[in-house]
Amino acid sequence: MINQEKYLTPKEIVAELDKYIIGQKDAKRNVAIALRNRWRRMNVKTEMQGEIVPNNILMIGATGVGKTEIARRLAKISNAPFTKVEASKFTEVGYVGRDVESMVRDLVEQSVNLVKSEKKEEVKLKAEQVVEDIILDALIPPLKGNGAGYKNPASTETVTGELPQTEQELNERTRERFREKIRNGEMEDRKIEINVQKPVNAGVGMIGGGMMDESSMINLQEMISGMMPKKNKKRKVTIGEARKILIEEESAKLIDMDEVKELAIRKAENTGIIFIDEIDKIAGGASRKGGGGGPDVSREGVQRDLLPVVEGSTVNTKYGLIRTDHILFIAAGAFHIAKPSDLIPELQGRFPIRVELDNLTKEDFYHILKEPKNALTKQYESLLEAEEVELKFQEDAMEEIAETAFHINSEVENIGARRLHTVMSQLLNEFLFDVPDKIGPNAKIVVTREMVKEKLSSLVKNKDLSEFIL
């Protein structure tokens, strides 16, 4: 049973999405229900649990309205493995490009990384203690008195018998003093020599046609890597760097990888989210219905390859077999030329929830600039804060920026919220160039409506002239 505390209610999910995405209430509600339904399914106590399949979602909307951001934030909220693929990638090489099952393998890879991170946190304390001892041994090697003899640091003679108590104590006291310094971070820049495990490179490649599929190639590389002996090499690094390298190595030794693989497969199967972008690019459109050949053969081929994965099949990955029955698929596309009905009927049926995202209004642009946690205005304020320069946007300045972005989108091409990046870059590039040479620390920059009009006038003029340039 899944821990209730980790799963938010639909209302709480929408509230979390509201922190980063403006508007699109319908899309947020639908993804919130889909996410909560996963918890509900995992808590069904009868055999019905295996029968309940997720309602996959098809998002329809212009570029830059928040389709990808909704899916990405959803995965972050639920701490679920997430992967994004572009459907058009599968059509690029010959008739069918990349193997469609690769998106499931990518999802499992993400899942393994998530589980490994969780397990590393669990063994972090133990790993840190081991690493502390390794660093200490590199700085002050321990003196061992085992009756076989020891080297007197003051001479070259080997003295038989036990270590003198005073020398043993002196060594221990020195080690403890250095241990304290290491813990307090006083020796981070001191260089030491450590043994680092060299990565094994299987170096398997293929010339010519695809005699072997992607899955078999991965398995072959894994097998060859496992057979090759692992080598260590000495590296001279600072204690700060050594700690990072060694914690990674020691954590890996403490983790049971078989358990990680098992948990990762289960996590990917039950909570994984695959976001298929640009699905409209593989919709056949009018020419498919007219029976034309050409690129539409490739598009329909990709749809037919996607179908079994979305329907529910077993995919072979290097971590084991994974069933795709309960993975949540979210597809998205602008559908300017094609329509959702241009997809093959079987694939349409696998995306029963359809959500149309609204085009952004002038008010939406204003709220995007002001409200989200990662708003562009806040990002630029943080960038200049790093140079000890204060940047402030007046309310009417933000309104003017929003109006300019909306105006350019409606006149040229609607690229949604991404237009704000163009506008903000044009507005602030001069300041970003002048700091810190002309504009020194403790300066204050206030962005006003007049400044916005002046700086962005060339952008609007260029846009008008572009209509006449061939």
Q: Binding site membership for ATP: which residues?
A: 22, 64-69, 277, 346, 418
> Can you tell me which residue has the tokens 């003017």?
400
Please choose, from the candidates 367, 465, 368, 456, the residue with its C-alpha nearest in 3D space to the C-alpha of residue 411: 465
Going by the annotation, the residues of the binding site are 22, 64-69, 277, 346, 418
CA atoms within 13 A on the CB side of 457: 6
CA distance 299 to 256: 43
CA distance 254 to 364: 50
CA distance 194 to 215: 36
Q: Which two tokens stand for residue 373?
A: 């946690």
**Residues 101, 309: contact at Cβ < 8 Å?**
yes
For residue 277, what are the contacts with CB-CB under 8 A and spacing of at least 6? 67, 68, 84, 85, 86, 87, 331, 332, 333
| Angle formed by the axes of helices 257-271 and 25-42, nearest 10° | 130
CA distance 407 to 173: 72
**Residues 245, 196: contact at Cβ < 8 Å?**
yes
| Angle formed by the axes of helices 67-78 and 10-18, nearest 10° | 120
**Residues 17, 32: contact at Cβ < 8 Å?**
yes
Q: Which two tokens stand for residue 279?
A: 């699905």
CA atoms within 13 A on the CB side of 110: 21
For residue 151, what are the CA distances in angstroms to 147, 166, 179, 226?
A: 12, 15, 23, 41
Q: Give me the DSSP letters along 277-301.
A: E-GGGG---HHHHTT--THHHHHHH
Please choose, from the candidates 335, 375, 337, the residue with its C-alpha nearest in 3D space to the C-alpha of residue 355: 335
Q: Which two tokens stand for residue 469?
A: 């340039």
Q: Which two tokens stand for residue 54?
A: 């997720």
